[in-house]
Amino acid sequence: MVELVGALTAAQRDGSEPLDAREIAVLPASWRVRRIFDERIRALLAPTRLLLTVAAADDTGDVALLVAAGERVGAAAGDLGPAEAAGLVRVSGRRLVFRHPLARAAAYQGAVLAERTAAHRALAEAASAADDMGRRAWHLAAATVGYDDEVAAELERSAELFRSRGGRAAVAAAYRRAARLTEDQEARSLRLAAAAAAAAEAGQVELAGMLADEAGPVSSPPAVARLASVRAALEHEQGRAESARLLLVEATCEVTAHRPAMGASLLFESTAMAWEAPDPIAAARHTRAQVTGLDFGEHPVHRGAAGVLDMLAGDLVDGAAAVREFADHVVRTRHERSLTDQVRLHGWDVLLGEYRTVHDEAVALERECRVEGAVGVLPRVLLRLARLRLFLGRHRDAYTTAVEGLEIACDTGQRHLATMFSGVLAVLAALDGKEPGATEGPDGTNGPEGGDLLGRGSAGQPGQDLCPDVVPSPFWLTRAHGLLDLGLGRYDRALQHFAALTGGPHRHLMVSVHSLPDQVEAAMRTERAAEAGPAAESFARWTGATGTAWARAVELRCRALLTADAATAEEFYERALAAHEGDGRPFEEARTRLLYGEWLRRAKRRADAREALTVALKSFERMPAAAWANRARAELRAVGVAPAGSVAGVALVDRLTVQELRVVRLAATGLSNRDIGARLFLSPRTVGYHLSNAYPKLGVTSRAALGALDLG
């Protein structure tokens, strides 16, 4: 509006001269403003117009760079003066800024092709002199008409430079432009595949699909491998894990004879898809059968994939040994791999129950994803962290992590991951005594008042606002229902859920393993106690193969439940509690104490029962796990103790919304608002808003006081 009014004469502004409708009304406002800028630019001398074209072709506003480039097209620094006087640009210090985006558009689009090309070539030369190879490559590409393999190769090198600087979207754009400049179809397809992979990492799922389709059929092993990986990832995000697995197995068979390392990598990806297939056992066996006879050499990634397939197919002992060896190899060589490969290969020792180790490594990966701007990769790491924090009894942290991951997965179109996050949230709700899909966070307080998990004020399944049809993954939803029924004492219903998870071919290995002790407990509370023994033996086999301390403790708890002899049962309980010490599984330890306390009460040892039950109650409240806390309170009342409604009280973190908690935790480490925003993908202003809301809830007035608070 300012520009439109400025274009009027004084008489037109005071109303004494009528407006010419033909001049003003026939175009939309943006085009009318653009025409004003066009007219101002046409009134300038040629050197100033050329310098404006150079400035419009540049995205830095660096005056020194613009002047250096301008000299190469016959313009001098003094030629900026008329452009400033015309109200097109302003120079502040070392930066030039266009007064309006349409002024930039007019300066660039109003120039003829030869002038734009000359501007980009001049900027490329100036960038080269400034040793800015990435910018040089971009401008050379912009100045190129038709194919140019040399410029394409330079742009490809710049793409890897952008990757090291954390710009995944820029990597995709660079590879895409490099492909446009490439005449050879195979090389062009390989670059399009690289662009598609980078787009997926940046969270641009639709663009990744378009680029993969554009790449078309390929024959070289690198192109086959890369395109198969991208297409499988896209299939997986549509919930078609089995289709993705078959695609990867086919590519493995095609590539391995020529490139064994690439074949091993594809095999590992297909193994991950088998893990999530409708029938994981059949998928694992089919994958093994298809690759039998292929020569992968002694590649450690192949051995890792073989170990995971063995465990999926039921060969726990040999599989566990191979997975442990592979996990150690991945940690030792992590700095030799791209971030995407690290995320793909990391964390498989979770199959061995090594949750604390995997968690600490995943925290480092999360930090790298945020620094590198790998928005498309980050949700996969957050899902790993959410599950690990759930396993480690850090329920509040699991909740905030899962909500953030769900938001990002929905925003980036990764719907399959969204169902996984929703599954974690369903389990957390169940542990807190709520139906899966409940709209509150742990303890009913760690979410915005009157809102859903994402703070949008609507009830229903978490994430519905972003993903209208998102539902928890079936394995995790079934486990959530089982845990809720077990916590509420509905043992027959719980047993049905756990039996579905642990029996038959359609089962998820880790969800099944975790459900076996629950099945034992539920079965021993019903008339189907005969089912407890086989479940306990299955868990014992997994424990024997993995050798994990917490699993040994839970195995001993199961044996205590199965034992009729009082002395033997007590010995198993005591040994289980000793094994729990320092095992990093507070929820399982509290459950062992609860069951032991119940056993002691039935044995008329009220004082011993009170001690075990009080410790269990406090632990359940800290997590929180309201369903189990209520069970502990009921048992305490049965031994003559009247526990308060909450021993632990309301923690500081429970006063905050999910986003406020994320922000204050980072602020407490000393990060600035800008740094916090970069990590959480928020503006600095939004960070400040959350901090200002959090301070009064925490009873502080500045970020300096946050470091002294217990923020979980």
Q: What is the pLDDT of residue 11?
A: 47
DSSP 594-654: HHHHHHHHHTT-HHHHHHHHHHHHHHHHHTT-HHHHHHHHHHHHHTT----S-SS---GGG
Give the three-class secondary structure for 96: strand
652-708 to CATH, choices 3.40.50.1100, 1.10.10.10, 1.20.120.1200, 3.60.70.12? 1.10.10.10
**Which letter does DSSP use for residue 145 in this model?**
-
Buried b (16+ CB within 10 A) or exposed e, 656-674: bbbbbbbbbbbbbeebebe
Specify the pLDDT at position 4: 42
CB 646 within 8 A of CB 621: yes
Residue 285: burial class (beta carbons within 10 Å; 0-12, 13-18, 19+): middle
CA nearest 510: which of 522, 502, 518?
502
- Look at residue 236 in the predicted model and tell me its pLDDT: 86
d(CA 84, CA 67): 15
H or E segment to which residue 425 belongs:
helix 415-431
State the pLDDT at residue 448. 31
Q: What is the DSSP string of 447-458?
A: S-TTS-TTSSS-
For residue 648, give the amino acid letter.
A
**Other CB atoms within 10 A of residue 27 CB:** 12
Measured at the alpha carbon of residue 208, what is the angle toward residues 204 and 210, in degrees to the nearest 5? 120
CA separation for the pair 560, 578 (Å, rounded): 14
CA angle 430, 431, 433 (to 5 degrees): 65
Q: Measured between alpha carbons, how far is 643 from 641 in angstroms, rounded to an integer?
A: 6
With DSSP H G I counted as helix, E B as strand and the rest as coil, what are the percentages for the chain, rounded to 5?
Answer: 70, 0, 30
Alpha helices in 334-414 (DSSP H): 339-345, 355-372, 378-391, 395-411
Q: Which amino acid is at 674?
A: R
Angle at 443 between CA 439 and CA 619, to 5 degrees: 140
pLDDT value for 21: 33
**Residue 602: Cβ-neighbour burial (10 angstroms; 0-12, 13-18, 19+):** exposed
Q: Which residue has the tokens 């300066």?
A: 107
* Residue 285 phi, psi (nearest 5): -70, -40
Integer Cα distance of 3 and 34 in angstroms: 9
Task: Give the CA-trace dihedral at 205, 210, 212, 214, to 10 degrees.
Answer: -170
Q: Where are the alpha helices (H) located in 256-354, listed in sequence order?
A: 260-275, 280-291, 300-313, 316-332, 339-345
Helices 168-180 and 149-164: angle between axes, nearest 10 degrees:
170
How is residue 66 written in tokens? Answer: 């613009």
Structure tokens at 400: 């905030």
Per DSSP, the three-state class of 93 is coil
What is the amino acid identity at position 563?
Answer: T
- Res 706: pLDDT: 79
Are 447 and 655 contacting, i.e. CB atoms less than 8 angstroms apart? no
Mean pLDDT by 10 residues, the chain (712 residues): 47 44 40 83 93 91 92 92 93 90 90 93 84 83 90 87 70 90 90 88 83 86 89 86 95 95 94 87 92 90 92 87 92 87 89 92 92 86 96 93 92 86 94 72 39 33 59 90 94 94 76 94 93 95 93 97 96 97 93 97 94 95 90 91 58 71 82 80 81 80 74 67
CA nearest 386: which of 416, 412, 411, 422?
422
- What's this model's pTM, rounded to 2 decimal places? 0.73
| Alpha-carbon gap, residue 686 to 558, rounded angstroms | 50
Assigned token pair, 592: 């062992």
Question: How are beta strands 95-98 and 89-92 bridged, if at all?
Answer: antiparallel
Statement: 476-638 belongs to CATH 1.25.40: yes
Instruction: Please provide residue 666's backbone torsions phi and psi, each rounded to the nearest 5 degrees.
Output: -70, -40
Predicted pLDDT of residue 450: 30
Burial tier of 468 (Cβ tally within 10 Å: 0-12, 13-18, 19+): exposed
